[in-house]
Each structure stands twice: as C-alpha cells, then as structure tokens.
Amino acid sequence: MTISSSTFLHGGNVRANGIRQHYLRYGGKGRPVVLVPGITSPAVTWGFVAETLARHFDTYVLDVRGRGLSESSDALDYGLDACAADVGAFAEKLDLDGYALVGHSMGARIGIRTARRHPRGLERMVLIDPPVSGPGRRAYPAQLDWYIDSIRLMREGAGFEALRPFSPTWTEAQLRLRSEWLHTCDERAIVATYDGFHQDDIHADLKQLDLPTLLMVAGRGDVIRAADLEEMQQLMPAMQVAHVPNAGHMIPWDDEPGFYRAFGDFLGVAIQGDDHARQ
C-alpha cells in the first residue's frame, strides 16, 4: 500500500483505567472498531489489518498494557481483569458508543471479559481464535519459552533472521516488523498472560453474554478443536462461527483474503482487502 492511499490517521495516548494507553487510529469514519491484538503483538504489527478495516470503520488498534508504547512496570497488574478494564476505560474515554471489539487470541479473551464486566458502549464482538484453555482444561498448545526466547533475542539486538525458526512460514517483511517491535513486550506481561490462559475461566463469561458475537476459527491452529467449538456454541447458541481452513493461529498472516471473507457482513458491510501480509 502506498503512503497516499493509507488510511492511517495518527497515533496517540490516553490516560484510562489509571495508566497511559497508546493506540493507532485509522480511517476516522463509520462504526468505531477497537482491535485488540494477541500476547506478543504490539499495535503496529496489526497495522495492515487496520488499514483495510478503516476503509469502512473508525478503527483503533490498542497496545495492550506491557506491549508496544503503552505503560509497563513491575508495579502493574497484567491480569485479564486489568486488561479488560483498560479496554472499557479506553472506549469510555474516547466516547466510542456502539463500538465493535475485534480481538485476536489474548485480545479475544480480553474482549470476552470486557463484554461481561465493562459492556458500556460495546455493541458486537469478533473473537479470532481465542485460547480455550482454563482451569482443568487442555493446555494452550504454544509453550511459554517460545515467546520468552524470541523476546530476549530481540532485546539483545538479534536480526530478523533469528526469528525465522520461530515463524518459518513468515515472509521477510513480516519477520522484520516483528523483530523491530518484539523487544517492547514486557516479559512480566507475557508470563502473566500465559499463566492466565490456564487460570482464567472465559467459559464462565461466555454463558453470561448476549451481544452479537462472531467466532473465527483457524483450521490449522489446533487452538480450537471440534469439541471446544461445540461447547462454546452450547454456551452461546446465537454465536456465529466462521472457519478459515487454510490458516494457522495467526490467521491474517497465513490467509489474509480468507480472514476478511470470514467477517462476512457481521460488522455491517463486507470487508474487501488486498493481500498485504504475504508481501
């Protein structure tokens, strides 16, 4: 995408829920959409998705606390409740009435907790391949060391090629962007989130929700299996489900056109996107 056709407007910071939250804004018109990335994905790494969503929506991409340019410290609570409160406070601070939350992985779990505990202004939600681990459940398939080792390599100044063993199917452009920003992920935040994958019960939240929800499932991710999907549909019978069969957990990186197709018209308009992620 050329600079002249970019939908990027600006970055910014707000003080909400007692911390400085950094965000990127794209588009500026239409339904507000708040995009909440995954465990080691600063906001900028989802810019290519925001560029496309912003053709139709006023799109905000959050740096979750402890990632990117948002606040981090050894005094912060990095748990799911705190992150969900951040989203609710962010939306309230910017007066995002009737917004849609689009969350990937960790961001989807944050979305679920936000919808239950901080629903003000939240109208609908897209859950992109959320980890379904929790107390007494099957463990999340990725190992904590995968995240921590890659962060430490980037913090020490290793080049993008050092990330290739971690993400062997990614393009050079994808690896370069990840290598540039991965060092901003606070290890304390990553450990707390990973532990929360196994300690927080999002299924108890799901059965309390009644807002329109779309669940997007990666066909090759092994995060959501058939039995998991069946249980989630029992908890939220009205939930819509879309499959992206040729993608792993990082869906828009693996199959960007399929990712956009999976939205259908759930957000009010069909999303048409170019394949940026594989470039």
Condensed to tens digits (0 to 9), the pLDDT of residues 177-234 reads 999 999 999 999 999 999 999 999 999 999 999 999 999 999 999 999 999 999 999 9
Q: Where are the alpha helices (DSSP H) in 164-250?
A: 172-181, 187-199, 202-206, 226-235
pLDDT score recorded for residue 125: 98
Below-70 pLDDT ranges, the chain: 1-4, 275-279
The topology (CATH level 3) of 3-139+200-263 is Rossmann fold (3.40.50)
| Separation between Cα atoms, residue 108 and residue 25, nearest integer Å | 19
Return the closest-CA partner of residue 60 out of 84, 37, 38, 85: 37
Residue that is written with structure tokens 């901080």 in the block: 118
pLDDT score recorded for residue 2: 42
| Separation between Cα atoms, residue 37 and residue 96, nearest integer Å | 18
pLDDT score recorded for residue 279: 47
DSSP state of 211: S
pLDDT score recorded for residue 272: 86
